[in-house]
Structure 1
Amino acid sequence: MHSAKTVCLRLVSEQLLRKNCYPSRSLSPLVYFQALFSSGGVRQSSPTASQPAVIRIPRHMQERIENVRQVKDKSFAKVPTVRPGRLLIKSKNPQHNQSVSYTLGKFEEPVLASKGWKSSKSFGDYFIINSTQDAPPFVSDCEEESKKAGRERAAQRRTFASLHLCTELVETLQSQNITHPTSVQMQTIPRLLQGHNVLCAAETGSGKTLAYLLPVIHKLHEMQLEAVHSEQRMQAVVLVPSRELAEQVTSVARAMGQPFGLQVKVVGGGRGIGNIKAAFCHGQPHILVATPGALLKALWRRLVDLSELRFMVVDEADTMFDPSFVNLLEKILSQTQVAASLAETAGPTPKAQLVVVGATFPGGVGELLSKVTDLGSLVTVKSRMLHYLMPHVKQTFLKVRGCEKVLELHQALKEVEPEKKGVLVFCNAAATVNWLGYTLEEMGVRHMRLQGEMPAAMREGIFQKFQKGHIDVLLCTDIASRGLDTQRVGLVVNYDFPESRTDYIHRAGRVGRAGGSGGGHVLSFVTHPWDVELVQNIETAARRRTCLPGMNKEIHKPSPKTESQEIK
């Protein structure tokens, strides 16, 4: 039998422990109060046979317990993030919702809907990042700028004629219903017309192709008018990472250069040297669009001459500067006389202007470009929304088992089928594209496939058929995520979750592009625990309305003279 004193001590200690307000963690509550009792800190009345012991806790001890309880309650208090109105984050668990009108504090940790997604118990969970605006930021920014400038100047600021492009180019753009420049075009075109070397980093779908092609064609037309000799030399090279993108850029360049009689040719890899020779059998073109490997083969066979090159454009720079292309790119740039200052782009023997274009800041760009030009001559045009999630695109993340992804994909395709919009389904491997294609065939889903291991003859024309609407579903790897024009795409499905932030930005950028209708939707299947960290980074960036963490925001090791112009 325990004594009355021991029983009371145990009751008091258990009550304090249950309320999580016990002041000391080094001793158990029972031992603590026993020590306190024995030292005289607790007074005991003289018990009788029918009267239990009475324990009195000192006032300073009571105050300390109360302070600990208040601090503990405050630290674990949940901040309500849901307010009346539209939701920015909609989760399966309503407690994880966040309103558009709510802004997280600087030191406030967001409560993530994907917090427990590494557990197998989270399958079936989901959250949605809703679109918060209708117009893309590269269009809405121009409208806001025009409003600030006043109604009288709005028309001048928002037309290509105000950028001092030749009349024929402006008329060609108008014939294709392109009348208003985007933010990146308004900033890049004047810089290139002035003769600067330019690094242009802007969000996907913002019109970067026209941003460099229009000034190139304008200046080549001026050179035609001033030329005194008839011998034709190649004057502009556009380097791209894939054959599909090369065909697309060639199509745009031919349409823009047709009024001036400019010859545009394209060479891509995978077809052998015979096809490359055939491209130059009738002489040098004014503009050559090429993949790095094909251009190097042409240089080694002396099929092309870069001596009078006036423009060297590196498109999709984040891909061109990765390990698979950077060595080829360095060899090409070493054979190109790139201007190191504005003065070297003019005069009797001008050097080439360098234009580097991408949707993300490429890593290693400073180290390589410093070998061929002065980084102080490089003007950086950086978009305000660079590395941000596009606010006009809805994005859904679904935690799903691998065996259930096909059924979820089939359901998503059925829901968008009446809209007759294009659907891009991204996989991380060519083998997955093939397997998924066979599975969808058995389900009766019409589709096409595009992946890097396909022979060049099979790949030719696949993306063009998708663009023209001959087929609505395209299964592909990341070769279709870089630079390709996908205005008709209304849904992007990440069947395999992308392996990097850059891949996610490019895949999501296939919807909500300039000239397209609506913002579109990105549906991502999250299956593996190693995908969850990237999902949480994306969700955190959405809740905080910040750019994705871990992305390059500037040129590494730049010259102090580097000029930076940020799009506002």
Structure 2
Amino acid sequence: MSAAMALSAVRAAVPRGLVQLVLLRWARSWAGVPAPEHVVRVPWAARRQQQQQQRRRRRRVAAAELAVPTRAGKLLLRSRRRELSQPSRLTLGRWEAPRLVSAGWKHRLSCGDYFQLERAQDLAPALAPPQAEGGDSSFGALGLEPALVSALDALSLRRPTAVQRHTIPVLLRGRHAICAAETGSGKTLAYLLPLLQRLFVGPRPQLHSGPAPSPLSLVLLPSRELAEQVRSVATSLCRPLGLRVREIGGGRGMGSVKRQLCAEPSLDVLLATPGALCKALRKRMVTLEQLSCLVLDEADTLLDPTFLELVEEVLAHAPLTCSPQDLADPWDVKTQLVVVGATFPGGLSRLLSKFSDIGHFVRLVSQSLHCLLPHIQQKFVRIKGRDKVSELLQLIKVRSPSSGALLVFCNKAPTVNWLSYILDNHKVKHLRLQGQMPAAMRAGIFSAFQKGEKDILVCTDLASRGLDTSRVELIVNYDFPDTLQDYLHRVGRVGRVGSQKSGSAISYVTHPWDVDLVRKIETAARRRTSLPGMKTSIDEPLPETDLTQTAK
């Protein structure tokens, strides 16, 4: 074969592009031109991902440089991301924006993140000793009768709380009052003791000759469970004084209400729910002509749209006093009005002005009102909705039998029922309580929980107002509450006056609207301020008395 034929055969076998590449390299080497370096082309998507990773790395480095170093010491807020923890010694400036752990919690990748508000003190604010040194801090120093002080001693109650020290003298003077203090601070005795003293030592009105009984004092409460609890406390105090207490509530039929009202010829203290009392007033089973004191307990619940019309009807029947001097006339009985609560609805002053002169009210405000309780550990966990059941079951599994009682809060009654079935399937002993249960089934559930028959109660916000939960050491917000007011009331079920331990709370954060509330809570905690949007609940100005000073 000739050389030409061999060359043509090689060209036919080798691709044309490769031949050109070989010839080009031979020409460059013959001319002395160095061969170019190989170029690796990175895809555009890979280059963009690499740039994003570099930006994230630079942001983490910058955040670490700006973050306050978490040296060994006490923390105000503990985060899973250490750079976002805040030491207790750090105080944010007025215009300094806090770096929030919950800032990115609306993103789906934030699930699993958490932060925890640590205990700032071991003692509840209500149990703080009086500021004045050498002063008498007993109930007798507040002007209470020795017989009433002896009844308190029998219940092992010897030292008044801060709310009681400054509320009792004002109410003994006969003033209309709005008492605003944090949950678990002893507000029940703060209004109950002046009420009982007036009945014990005050002038007795003329015997009522009408067909319906007329109580001398009335305490209006939003739930039957709370009415039963206050009746238990009032009965223990009234028995040594010779006073009579009766309690009426809905769900038992009007026959039961009539028997309670007619059991005694004269009635000193009546505890009632709005629905049952209004039905009794309409049927003329009871009258309020001789009422000397009316207490609205848990005002934020009583004055919501569910009970508002009923409460207005009760206020219309009561002969409210115009001045404290009116209470001294036994021939013309007038009523002292006391409004008590930890939170208050908007427009309270407008409502009260319909029935009395708002200028005669004195407002008693606690320093810790609307603030996060500093003696309770509070943890917030960002979690998917489908994982809440497993988290709760794991929490129950790791708890020891000596860990105290557990309250699990849900927002709706169907959720309570569904979660109760889940716990039954896992052989977890518990009780459940919600407002849609029949009265016969609902009766006695909370008292059984208080006595320790079961250590777990699954409930709605029905159990978050006023009830004595001194056994409870852990709160679980299975559903995050709808409002900041509900959050304060739920967390206030632990660390109460009479509790052995401060307790803690765990909240599962699931929905975007939950994150909005958590951001407000975290901001208030980092700034050490009260929760936003709650100081305007009493919107008209009233004569204000700070509970840190002796009320005059």
Pick aligned residue for 1:214 from 171, 193, 204? 193
Contact 2:64–2:83 under 8 Å retained in 1: no
Deviation at 1:533, TM superposition (A): 0.4
Indicate yes or no: 2:261 matched with 1:273: no
1:535 matches 2:535: no
> Shift in Å at residue 393 of structure 1?
0.1
Post-superposition CA distance 1:227-279 (Å, at most 9, x none) = 67597841111001111001011111111111112111111112222221121
Task: Classify 1:363/1:484 alpha carbon distance in 2 versus 1 (closer, same or farther; 3 Å).
Answer: same
5 Å-filtered alignment, 1:299-448, equals 299-348=281-330, 349-448=332-431
CA distance in 1, matches of 2:240, 2:345: 35
Which runs of no fewer than 5 residues in structure 1 stay unpaired? 1-17, 19-72
Report the residue type matching 2:74 in the other structure.
R
Contact in 2 for aligned 1:83/1:101 (Cα 8 Å): no
CA–CA distance in 1 between the matches of 2:383 and 2:537? 37
Deviations 1:482-537 (A, max 9, x none): 00000010000000000000100000000000111121010000111111000010
The structure-2 alpha-carbon separation of the partners of 1:74 and 1:407, relative to structure 1 and needing over 3 Å to count, comes to closer
- Within 5 Å, give how 1:105-144 maps onto structure 2: 105-140=93-128, 143=129
Query: 1:114-151 CA deviation, whole Å, 9 max, x = no partner?
Result: 111001001100000011100001112xx151xxx22x
Q: 2:440 — aligned with what? A: 457
Structure 2 residues without counterparts, runs of 5 or longer:
1-50, 52-60
- TM-score, structure 2 normalization: 0.85
Q: Contact 1:362 / 1:552 at 8 angstroms: preserved in 2?
A: no
User: Partner amino acid for 1:472?
Assistant: D
Picking from 175, 188, 207, the partner of 1:196 is 175
C-alpha distance after superposition, 1:277-305 (max 9, x if no partner): 12123244211101101000010111112
* Alignment-mate amino acid for residue 228 of structure 2: E
Tell me the distance in 2 between the aligned counterparts of 1:245 and 1:101.
41
- Distance between the aligned counterparts of 1:432 and 1:227, measured in 2? 50
Q: What is the aligned-residue identity percentage?
A: 49
Cα deviation 1:44-87 (Å, max 9, x = unaligned): xxxxxxxxxxxxxxxxxxxxxxxxxxxxx999972526344111
- Distance, in Å, in 1 between the alignment partners of 2:545 and 2:405 is 36
**CA distance in structure 2 between the aligned counterparts of 1:81 and 1:342, rounded to whole angstroms:** 58
**Partner secondary structure for residue 102 of structure 2:** coil
The answer (yes or no) to whether the contact 1:318–1:363 under 8 Å persists in 2 is no
Report matched runs for 1:24-43 at 5 Å. none
Distance 1:233 1:324, change over 3 A: closer
Instruction: Indicate how the Cα distance of structure 1 residues 229 and 442 shifts in structure 2: closer, same or farther if over 3 A, else same.
Output: closer
Q: Matched residues in 2 for 1:444 and 1:375: separation?
A: 55
Q: Which residues in structure 2 correspond to 1:485-500 (within 5 Å)?
A: 485-500=468-483
Instruction: Determine whether 1:240 maps to 2:236.
Output: no
Deviation string 1:379-405 (CA, Å, 9 cap, x unpaired) is: 100000000000000000001111111
Q: Secondary structure at the match of 1:124?
A: coil
1:254–1:217: structure 2 CA closer, same or farther, 3 Å change rule? Answer: same
More deviation in 268-277 or 373-382?
A: 268-277
Structure 1 CA distance, aligned partners of 2:62 and 2:508?
37
Deviation at 1:563, TM superposition (A): 2.0
- Quick check: which has more Rg, 1 or 2? 2
- Tell me by how many angstroms 1:223 deviates: 2.9
Cα distance change, pair 144–258 in 1 and its aligned pair in 2 (3 A)? closer
Match for residue 92 of structure 1 among 77, 80, 83: 80
- Alignment of 1:187 with 2:140, yes or no, is no
Instruction: Number of aligned residue pairs: give it.
Output: 484
Q: CA RMSD in A?
A: 1.9
1:101 partner amino acid: R
Secondary structure, in 3 states, of the residue corresponding to 1:184?
A: helix
Cα distance 1:552–1:284, how it changes in 2: closer, same or farther (>3 A)? farther
3-state SS of 1:474 partner: strand
Deviates more, 1:342-351 or 1:209-218: 342-351
Match of 2:146 among 158, 167, 183: 167
State the SS of the aligned residue for 1:471.
coil
Match of 1:468 in 2: 451
Matched-pair contact (CA < 8 Å) for 2:103–2:519: yes
Amino acid at match of 2:219: V
| Whole-angstrom distance in 2 between the partners of 1:367 and 1:301 | 29
In structure 2, the residue matched to 1:482 is 465
Distance 1:123 1:251 in 2: 45
